[in-house]
């Protein structure tokens, strides 16, 4: 169902004279491993598959590739986010080639959204090749689709990742609602940070889902965790070791700001944040400068508040709740 860009891969192998490669594959694309490995074998390239987690294009396994003396890194399922490379890197985006499942939901979309609506479209990179046809189908049903500009973390217009919805943010004043093709994870991110209604399409499940109720409930929980954080005396500021999530400057600034508020603050480094890693640590609250979705989706697994930088500023009155939620500030500050 996903198209692998083998021509590009062959060219890259030739250009960099690749003999050994580390392959990173997100969970949902693991069934493609044999196809890729078989192809690499025909090119006399030794493949090592990383079975560590691979959450996004921010998460490049350069340490692993170097430790294994790999000549290159194949990163599957995401579009390029980081410009520089520590070892030669190719992104195999694995786009969907058959638009049938997406086209099938066009009627449902029209039913849920209604006619004559101006709709901001966002999608994961997998759906990029099918979107022109989908746009035609929406127009036939009286919907007016718009695509905004590309963002700092996406190389294509219309593509969203869990922490960048520029294609919606950039046109939010012109649309009635937005439609995110991919999963509820991506739809929820848009619904937390845009003021207009958001719908998610999951073409594989044939679902069109309104996301605003879920977003509202999540924001209520975030508000409660911010209140808990206010009483925390000792704070750990987390710095991610993942290359695209490493924000040392932000962590240092937040440490200084919190210390000025009378908190005792330490900097903590971590690669893959799990709840057990926080066991026995002497902190009442944490600041998450790594992937923002850890605070949003995974907070309940942690016993202490895990606040985003924007939420820290909210907790000390340097940002106002009404100016932060449903705005880009929420994920990006």
In Å, how far from its chain's centre is CA 291? Answer: 8
List the 285-288 sheet strands across, edge first. Answer: 264-270, 234-240, 285-288, 306-307
Per the CB < 8 A criterion, the answer to whether 61 and 50 are in contact is yes
Q: Residues 234-263: x/- map of binding to ligand SF4 (CB under 6 A)?
A: ----------xx------------------
Residue at shortest CB range from ligand SF4: 162
For ligand SF4, the binding residue among 158, 162, 182, 285 (CB under 6 A) is 162
Rounded Cα gap, residues 260 and 230, in angstroms: 14
DSSP 8-state class, residue 265? E
Per the CB < 8 A criterion, the answer to whether 304 and 253 are in contact is no
Q: Which is nearer to ligand SF4, 187 or 244 (CB)?
A: 244
Q: Which is nearer to ligand SF4, 105 or 312 (CB)?
A: 312
- 185 belongs to the binding site for ligand SF4 (CB under 6 A): no
- Sort strands 72-76 and 89-92 into parallel, antiparallel or unpaired: parallel
- 293 belongs to the binding site for ligand SF4 (CB under 6 A): yes
CB within 8 A of 188, min separation 6: which ones?
200, 211, 214, 215, 218, 296
- 55 belongs to the binding site for ligand SF4 (CB under 6 A): yes
Please, what is the minimum distance in Å from the beta carbon of residue 69 to ligand SF4?
27
Radius of gyration of the chain (CA): 21
- 58 belongs to the binding site for ligand SF4 (CB under 6 A): yes
Rounded Cα gap, residues 288 and 307, in angstroms: 6
Please, what is the minimum distance in Å from the beta carbon of residue 290 to ligand SF4?
7
Please, what is the minimum distance in Å from the beta carbon of residue 163 to ligand SF4?
3
Using the contact rule CB under 6 A, the part of the chain among 39-47, 52-60, 113-121, 278-286 near ligand SF4 is: 52-60
Q: Which uninterrupted H or E stretch holds 255? A: helix 248-260
Q: Among positive and negative, which fits the CA dihedral 126, 132, 135, 136?
A: negative
Please, what is the minimum distance in Å from the beta carbon of residue 283 to ligand SF4?
22
Q: Which is nearer to ligand SF4, 161 or 306 (CB)?
A: 161
For ligand SF4, the binding residue among 13, 40, 74, 161 (CB under 6 A) is 161
- 72 belongs to the binding site for ligand SF4 (CB under 6 A): no
Neighbours of 150 (CB within 10 A): 17
- 291 belongs to the binding site for ligand SF4 (CB under 6 A): yes
Please, what is the minimum distance in Å from the beta carbon of residue 219 to ligand SF4?
18
* Binding residues vs ligand SF4 (CB under 6 A): 55-56, 58, 161-163, 244-245, 291, 293
């Amino acid at each position: 169902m996903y198209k692998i860009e083998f021509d590009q891969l062959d060219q890259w192998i030739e250009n960099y004279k690749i003999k050994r490669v580390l392959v990173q594959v997100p969970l949902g694309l693991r069934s493609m491993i044999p196809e890729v490995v078989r192809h690499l074998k025909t090119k006399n390239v030794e493949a090592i598959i990383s079975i560590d987690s691979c959450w996004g294009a921010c998460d490049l396994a350069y340490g692993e590739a170097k430790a294994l003396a790999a000549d290159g890194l194949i990163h599957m399922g995401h579009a390029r986010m980081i410009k520089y490379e520590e070892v030669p890197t190719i992104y195999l985006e694995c786009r969907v080639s058959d638009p049938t499942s997406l086209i099938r939901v066009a009627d449902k979309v029209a039913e849920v959204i209604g006619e004559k609506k101006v709709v901001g479209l966002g999608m994961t990179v997998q759906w990029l090749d099918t979107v022109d046809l989908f746009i035609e189908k929406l127009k036939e049903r009286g919907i007016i689709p718009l695509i905004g500009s590309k963002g700092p973390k996406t190389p294509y217009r219309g593509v969203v990742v869990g922490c960048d919805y520029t294609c919606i943010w950039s046109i939010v004043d012109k649309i009635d609602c937005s439609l995110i093709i991919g999963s509820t994870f991506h739809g929820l991110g848009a619904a937390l940070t845009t003021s207009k209604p958001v719908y998610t399409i999951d073409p594989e499940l044939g679902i069109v889902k309104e996301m605003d109720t879920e977003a509202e409930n999540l924001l209520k929980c975030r508000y409660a965790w911010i209140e808990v954080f206010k009483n925390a005396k000792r704070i750990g500021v987390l710095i991610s070791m993942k290359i695209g999530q490493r924000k040392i400057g932000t962590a240092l600034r937040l440490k200084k700001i919190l210390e000025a508020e009378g908190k005792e603050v330490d900097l903590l480094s971590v690669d893959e944040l799990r709840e057990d890693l926080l066991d026995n640590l002497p902190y009442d609250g944490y600041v998450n400068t790594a992937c923002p979705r850890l605070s949003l989706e995974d907070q309940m697994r942690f016993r202490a508040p895990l606040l985003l930088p924007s939420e820290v500023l909210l907790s000390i009155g340097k940002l106002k709740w009404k100016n932060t939620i449903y705005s880009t500030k929420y994920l990006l500050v």
